[in-house]
Amino acid sequence: MRTRVAIIGAGPAGLLLSQLLHDRGIDAVLLEARDREYCEGRQRAGMLEQATVDVLREAGAADRLDREGLVHHGIHLRFAGRDRHIDFPSRTGGRSVTVYGQTEIVKDLVAKRIAEGARMYFDAPVTAIEGIDGAAPRVRFLRDGVEEVLECDLVAGCDGFHGVSRGAIPADVLKTHERAHPFAWLGILADVAPSTDDLIYAYSERGFALHSMRSRAVSRLYLQVDPDADLADWPDERIWAELRERLALPGWRLDEGPIRERSITPMRSFVAEPMSFGRLFLAGDAAHIVPPTGAKGLNLAMADVRVLARACAEYFLAGSRAGLDGYSDACLRRVWRAEQFSSWMTTLLHARADASGFDRRCQEAELAYVADSSAAMDSLAENYVGYTWAD
Ligand code: FAD
Ligand code: DHB
């Protein structure tokens, strides 16, 4: 089999790239290790920056997002019995964010790619990537247990943190940076109307809690738990009791409902650089992971793909390698901004078991400052909606 761009992974990054290349008339083949149902069912992120909504519109994959997405104009910061609403449009020149589940984005893109006859193979794990430092890369994958080879001009590694692409970059070229966070998030999806208008990010000495949502009838909530926490130790009543405690505010009540989904996600900060080598280009979680507190993971993946699709178009349609050569640097500037912001939000809002009294009082002082200072709220807002550079 032969194509121009071999895309590895049918997460949001690989699917969007497949769509954007198709729209530019560039042939691509997408290979995904898991089945369609699995890809469409994975509960993950939900908060979209305006730029992510815009690129999905550009890809013609935003009809349902425009109908069902919930536009939010701010977040609540809740701690010590206080609630500070941070308004986004007034602090960011009119920008806001949209809640729409990653699962729904994946469903919308898969349906559109299939309807348009894309060459997209599920249950087709990539086993090796060869020749990326030459002119004719080859991607080896399995179909029905039989090895096949995909020949291509470029390889897009969109295969997430545990994929094979990053490992194809020689070890003496690839530099990785990592920070461990001693927390995990227990996330639930519950059939109950959200008890809030905008998302609530809450700090308490018991730990962090986040009240998000998926629709007017479905709530998405998260709790900070230990990294080695076991779901078996978290029956429904314990989850709700802990959420009630951590989100508590005089005069406010958390409505409860049946829990339909639950999972525990470890937290990690990770960056691999450069994000490209020869004819291989990493995008999304394959190259970088952020702790989820700033809601940046999915948005970064979409931003990488926007840059990569443009660079591919320059290469195949105008014969210029400039975009491909600049890809890694262009992405890493945004990635490091998001890494810093996500780490900062995580440190601000999570309770560390090993924090000294001094550390804890400093954290409380910073929370109080963020909730009081207009400059601090401006800074949080401009990063949350997605920082854009002046140049
Ligand atoms: P992925 O979505 O990971 O997609 C990669 C795809 O590649 C997968 O379908 C995988 O099966 C496939 N693949 C892997 N190896 C191979 C192979 N060898 N061959 C072929 N295909 C392969 N972000 C937030 O902002 N908020 C959140 O609440 C949040 N929760 C998360 C919870 C979990 C459990 C995880 C893992 C991530 C979460 N994230 C969250 C991050 C966000 O979901 C990711 O940033 C986003 O999924 C990145 O998209 P991606 O397309 O780069 O990678
Ligand atoms: C959601 C996840 C996040 O990590 C976040 O910061 C905000 C919202 C969500 O899944 O809705």
DSSP string for residues in 175-225 = EEEEEEEEEEEEEEEESS--S-SSEEEEEETTEEEEEEESSSS-EEEEEEE
Give the angle subtended at the CA of 117 by the CAs of 111 and 122, to the nearest 5°.
65
- The number of the ligand 2 atom at minimal distance from the alpha carbon of 214 is 11
Task: State the distance from the centre of ligand 1 to the C-alpha of 298, rounded, in angstroms.
Answer: 8
Calculate how far, in angstroms, residue 158's C-alpha sits from the geometric centre of ligand 2: 21
Domain ranges of the chain: 5-71+97-178+268-346, 181-267+350-384
5-71+97-178+268-346 CATH choice from 3.40.50.720, 3.50.50.60, 1.10.3720.10, 3.30.70.360: 3.50.50.60
For residues 353-359, give the mean pLDDT: 96
The answer to pTM > 0.95 is: yes
**Cβ of 207 below 6 Å from ligand 1:** no
Q: Catalytic residue positions?
A: 72, 201, 292, 296, 384
Looking at the chain, which runs of residues are DSSP E strands? Answer: 5-8, 28-31, 47-48, 70-72, 74-79, 82-87, 97-99, 119-121, 126-130, 138-143, 146-151, 154-157, 175-190, 199-204, 207-213, 219-225, 259-273, 276-277, 280-282, 288-289
Q: Which residues pair with 201 in a beta bridge?
A: 77, 210
Give the span between the Cα atoms of 165 and 303, in whole angstroms.
19
Phi, then psi, of 108 in degrees rounded to 5: -65, -45
User: Looking at the predicted structure, is the pLDDT value of residue 391 above 90?
Assistant: no
Q: CB under 8 Å to 128, separation ≥6 — which residues?
A: 139, 140, 164, 168
Report the nearest atom of ligand 1 relative to the CA of 286. Answer: 52
Peptide bond into 194 cis (omega under 30): no
d(CA 285, CA 211): 24
Which of ligand 2's atoms lies nearest the C-alpha of 295?
6
Convert the pLDDT of each residue in 158-190 to its tens digit. 999 999 999 999 999 999 999 999 999 999 999
Calculate how far, in angstroms, residue 45's C-alpha sits from the geometric centre of ligand 1. Answer: 9
Residue 297 has pLDDT above 90, yes or no: yes
What confidence category does residue 33 fall into, taking pLDDT thresholds of 50, 70 and 90? very high
Averaged pLDDT, 331-358: 97
Looking at ligand 2, which atom is closest to the CA of residue 293?
6
Confidence of residue 303 (pLDDT cuts 50, 70, 90): very high
DSSP string, 318-373: H---HHHHHHHHHHHHHHHHHHHHHHHHHHHHPPPTT--HHHHHHHHHHHHHHTT-
Task: Evaluate whether 283 touches 158 at the Cβ level (below 8 Å).
Answer: yes
Would you identify the CATH topology of the domain 181-267+350-384? D-Amino Acid Oxidase; Chain A, domain 2 (3.30.9)
| pLDDT confidence bin for 82, thresholds 50/70/90 | very high
Residue type at 87? D
299 CA to middle of ligand 1, Å?
Answer: 12
Which letter does DSSP use for residue 135 in this model?
A: S
Range 287-308 average pLDDT: 98
Whether 386 is in the pocket of ligand 1, judged by its Cβ within 6 Å, is: no
How far does the centroid of ligand 2 lie from the alpha carbon of residue 97, in Å? Answer: 11
Taking only the tens place, the pLDDT of each residue in 221-267 is 999 999 999 999 999 999 999 999 999 999 999 999 999 999 999 99
pLDDT at residue 390 tops 90: no
Q: What percent of the chain stands above pLDDT 90?
A: 99
Counting ligands in written order, the one closest to the CA of 43 is 1
pLDDT > 70: what percent of the chain?
100
Residue whose CB lies within 8 A of the most ligand 2 atoms, among 42, 47, 52, for a mutation test: 47
pLDDT for the residue 121: 98
- Mean model confidence pLDDT for the chain: 97
For a ligand 2 pocket test, name from 189, 210, 264 the mutation site with the most ligand atoms within 8 angstroms of its C-beta: 210
Atom of ligand 2 nearest to the CA of 45: 10
Domain 5-71+97-178+268-346 shares a fold with domain 181-267+350-384 = no
Q: Is 291 in the pocket of ligand 1 (CB under 6 A)?
A: no
Q: Residue 281's pLDDT is what?
A: 99
Decide if pLDDT at 355 tops 90. Answer: yes
From 139, 165, 268, 298, the mutation candidate for ligand 1 (largest count of ligand atoms within 8 A of CB) is 298
Q: What is the ipTM of this complex?
A: 0.96
The residues lining ligand 2, judged by C-beta closer than 6 Å to any ligand atom, are 45-47, 99, 199, 212, 220, 292-293, 295
Measured in angstroms, how far is the CA atom of residue 385 from the centroid of ligand 1?
21
User: Which letter does DSSP use for residue 172 in this model?
Assistant: T
